[in-house]
């Protein structure tokens, strides 16, 4: 009976450790429970819902999200699309129909028409581009400039 007591204690401890592992350890693979592996870009002033970082896009590019009211001027702000080299290949205007004269988030949408700089057979880096959401700054003063950028890929 003397040796049985320590063995019984070791078995109980092992069962508790195994049970605790399965009870408390989150062993799910990302995406198992419908998790968004590429969530919307969120900054202090802009929530970009579409497109997402690294997403493959084609023309016309629909841009949607929310921005704080002070990001707008007269209910709009500029959208700029560049190729891998920074050359502007498309521009558009994000607009809201909501009350933009607030510091709260306001929904917006806009469209950019462009010609894809990537063609089948081009080097892969030709696929890369940047979407720029530019704060509207009618004053022209640099201290009021701001922008949010994401990398996208062009469809071939």
Q: What is the pLDDT of residues 30-79, one digit of tens each?
A: 555 555 567 878 889 999 999 999 999 999 999 999 999 999 999 999 99
Distance of CA 11 to the CA centre of its chain: 49
Residue 47 falls within a domain, yes or no? yes
The residue among 111, 65, 108 whose CA lies nearest residue 91 is 111
Contact 51, 63 (CB under 8 A): yes
52 inside domain: yes
Please check whether residue 31 lies inside any domain of the structure: no
What digits encode the pLDDT tens for the residues 97-152?
Answer: 999 999 999 999 999 999 999 998 999 999 999 999 999 999 999 999 999 999 99
Residue 6, helix vs strand vs coil: helix
Total number of domains constituting the chain: 1
Specify the pTM. Answer: 0.75
- What DSSP assignment string belongs to 36-57? -SSPPEE-SSEEEEESPTT-EE
């Amino acid at each position: 009976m003397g040796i049985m007591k320590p063995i019984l204690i070791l078995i109980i401890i092992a069962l508790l450790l195994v049970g605790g592992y399965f009870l408390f350890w989150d062993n799910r693979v990302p995406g198992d429970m419908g998790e968004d592996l590429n969530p919307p870009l969120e900054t202090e002033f802009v929530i970009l819902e579409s497109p997402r970082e690294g997403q493959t896009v084609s023309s016309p590019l629909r841009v949607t999200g929310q921005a704080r009211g002070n990001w707008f001027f007269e209910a709009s702000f500029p959208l700029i699309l560049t190729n891998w080299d920074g050359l502007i290949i498309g521009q558009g205007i994000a607009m809201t129909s909501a009350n933009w004269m607030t510091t709260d988030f306001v929904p917006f949408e806009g469209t950019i028409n462009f010609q894809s700089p990537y063609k089948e057979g081009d080097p892969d880096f030709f696929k890369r581009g940047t979407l720029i959401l530019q704060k509207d700054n009618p004053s022209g003063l640099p201290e009021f400039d701001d922008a949010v950028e994401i990398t996208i890929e062009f469809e071939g």
